[in-house]
Structure 1
Amino acid sequence: MTKRHVSLPVEAESGLQAFLEEVDERLSSDESTCEVVQDTLVDLFGDRDAYERWQEGEEVTPAERVRLQGYDPCNSTLESEYYAEKDEERYRRSKHLQWLWRQFDATPMADNVEFALRFRQMLANHLFEEAGENLRIFKGVSFSYGHNITVGDNTIIHDDVHLDDRGKLTIGSRVSISDDAHIYSHDHDVVDQTEVRNFHTVIEDDVRITYDAMIRAGTHVGENAIVGARSNVQGDVPAHHIVVGAPAKSVKIKPGYEDEAEDIGDGRLESHQDEREIPYDLPEDLDVFDEFQRDIDGPIHPHKRP
């Protein structure tokens, strides 16, 4: 084994546990999530005195006011807020929790591993659709909503991983996802990139996704498989296979699993994305925001058209 157990000093452990229990209890109550998030961030950033002075009507600079207002998630916008097909009711709460998650990562405590892992586990219990036990989620992990993510037990997600749950994302138990990996559950049309399709992406138990790999939306990665560093997975990965490359291909079966693994011949991965699409309806009165304003009827230079 290459790791060992570590623990905080007794006094630090006592303070950490009291803090976690307080925030957990408040998030489990009927109290406004906005207020819980705001109070927690004000205290984590050590800004209680300035915040109370501002609340009492004392004069603050414009910069101070922006900073103090920013602790309230109701004063923020996130990229996923623009997604027209989202479940507005579920998103309202998950946005607040996601704001706490992201802002916590900007505090010095985010680098205190024992503190940070347990804080994110507690938050995941409230934010994810399902969160298993003993999750180890490191700094800089981001997601679209959070509420469409299911994760099993004893899974580890390293720094700066992006978990896109615009569709649905299921991650099994004992999964290891290395730094900078991106796992997607939505895709864009190749002509009109404002047209989005959502999918269910599945990572089975005991999978290892290594550094900077990308998993395309609607992909199924079978149990005990390995995705090599910087691989681009466009199709389903059979159980026990090792895939590498862009696009990824199977190059080997894990030793000892030769009799259990499926033989896929030349190693090419077959896509079943269409089978995992999650349909959605848009509101009839949707106020469409088209950030590109492109003409998608043909090329920019019509004379080049065949």
Structure 2
Amino acid sequence: MTKRHISLPLAAEEGVRAFIDEVDERLSGEEDTCDVVQDVLVDLYGDREAYERWQAGEDVSNAERVRLQGYDPCNSTLESEYYAEKDEEKFKRSKHLQWLWRQFDATPMADNVEFALRFRQMLADHLFEEAGENLRLFKGITMTYGHNIRVGDNTVVHDDVHLDDRGELTIGNRVSISDGVHLYSHDHDIVDQTAVKNFHTVVEDDARVTYDAMVRAGCRVGENSVVGARSVVQGDVPAHHVAVGTPAKSVKIKPGWEDEAEPLEAGGENRQAEREIPYDLPEGVDVFDEFGRDFESSN
């Protein structure tokens, strides 16, 4: 899509740059990440006065206390925190960064596109396994961990996209991920829902995954391909193919690429097994079935 360059007024630009640089420097330094996140959120939400009163031991209401405690990611839990196989060491830091990302997106500043894109780029540089240059990461993006995501240069991820990196997720250069897309890297057993397998899911360079589509775990969306709106990708999409439907099927080859592309019949191949990421649960982890089911007694 053709875009035009837009600049903030000078005073606004100076403020944005100073704030982002300050947070970036603090996250890169020796300070505890949890402390940095808490401090930044207190100021973003304009709660410094109440926070200082609370820290000084003055009385605050129960509602104020819960709100002020909530700026500290160590006082919160995320859904992925309950996943038994997660890497505890990586999650210690990624949880704090993800908390800052999510809470920033709940502020009015998240709608200031110029500010928000640059702030999220800075956070991605700290959170993702690899974050390319000139990323455009829009509002409402959620992720499982963040630390298993690799993204190339000049990629755009639009509003309300879910990046599931319970396994691994690789997104190439110049990729377009439209609003409401879900990219998955884990799958559940059809009988025992608690049995989870993790996979490496790949979206290659110049691919487009359009509105509200879903890419299932372990699939590869090939270079320069297109996944149609609201499609469900359950197998590989070859390079230069256009795949649509549920399940997604290759229906055409992009004009001009006919000589390089595989035939349409090659689309939809399930190669999930090749991309499985085995794991072992940590010793002594206390597990539970959130549905309270007992499969042994039901057989």
- Whether these two folds match at TM > 0.5 is yes
Extract structure 1 runs of 4+ deviating beyond 2 A: 295-299
| Structure 2 SS opposite 1:21 | helix
- The aligned residue for residue 120 of structure 2 is 120
C-alpha separation between the residues in 2 aligned to 1:69 and 1:93?
18
Deviations 1:181-234 (A, max 9, x none): 000000000000011000000100000000000000000111000000000000
- The aligned residue for residue 157 of structure 2 is 157
Q: State the one-letter code of the partner of 2:92.
A: R
- The aligned residue for residue 81 of structure 1 is 81
Task: State the 1:78 CA deviation.
Answer: 0.2
Task: State the 1:237 CA deviation.
Answer: 0.4
- The aligned residue for residue 262 of structure 2 is 262
Task: State the 1:268 CA deviation.
Answer: 4.8
CA separation of 1:289/1:295 partners in 2, compared to 1, >3 Å: closer, same or farther?
closer
C-alpha separation between the residues in 1 aligned to 2:53 and 2:100?
23
CA separation of 1:257/1:298 partners in 2, compared to 1, >3 Å: closer, same or farther?
farther
Deviations 1:93-148 (A, max 9, x none): 00000000000001000000000000000000000000000000000000000000
Task: State the 1:293 CA deviation.
Answer: 1.7
- The aligned residue for residue 287 of structure 1 is 286
- The aligned residue for residue 270 of structure 2 is 271
Task: State the 1:264 CA deviation.
Answer: 3.5
Q: State the one-letter code of the partner of 1:165.
A: D
Q: State the one-letter code of the partner of 1:71.
A: Y
- The aligned residue for residue 168 of structure 1 is 168
C-alpha separation between the residues in 1 aligned to 2:246 and 2:297?
29
On the 8 A contact 2:252/2:264 being kept in 1, the answer is: no
Deviations 1:5-53 (A, max 9, x none): 1010000000000001100000001100011000100000000011001
* Residue ranges of structure 1 left out of the alignment (5+ in a row): none
C-alpha separation between the residues in 2 aligned to 1:253 and 1:264?
7
On the 8 A contact 1:42/1:48 being kept in 2, the answer is: yes
Q: State the one-letter code of the partner of 2:77.
A: T
Q: State the one-letter code of the partner of 2:134.
A: N
- The aligned residue for residue 54 of structure 2 is 54
Task: State the 1:156 CA deviation.
Answer: 0.2
1:111-260 pair list within 5 angstroms? 111-260=111-260
Deviations 1:62-102 (A, max 9, x none): 00000000000000000000011111000000000000000
C-alpha separation between the residues in 2 aligned to 1:243 and 1:290?
37
Alignment coverage as a number of residue pairs: 299
C-alpha separation between the residues in 1 aligned to 2:227 and 2:27?
37
C-alpha separation between the residues in 2 aligned to 1:235 and 1:155?
23
- Cα-Cα RMSD: 1.2
CA separation of 1:298/1:205 partners in 2, compared to 1, >3 Å: closer, same or farther?
farther
On the 8 A contact 1:145/1:165 being kept in 2, the answer is: yes
| Structure 1 SS opposite 2:114 | helix
| Structure 2 SS opposite 1:187 | strand
* Residue ranges of structure 2 left out of the alignment (5+ in a row): none
On the 8 A contact 2:253/2:264 being kept in 1, the answer is: no
| Structure 1 SS opposite 2:264 | coil
Deviations 1:282-301 (A, max 9, x none): 123121121112233586xx
Q: State the one-letter code of the partner of 1:211.
A: Y
Q: State the one-letter code of the partner of 1:244.
A: V
| Structure 2 SS opposite 1:31 | coil
On the 8 A contact 1:184/1:215 being kept in 2, the answer is: yes
On the 8 A contact 2:237/2:267 being kept in 1, the answer is: no
| Structure 2 SS opposite 1:40 | helix
C-alpha separation between the residues in 2 aligned to 1:27 and 1:179?
29
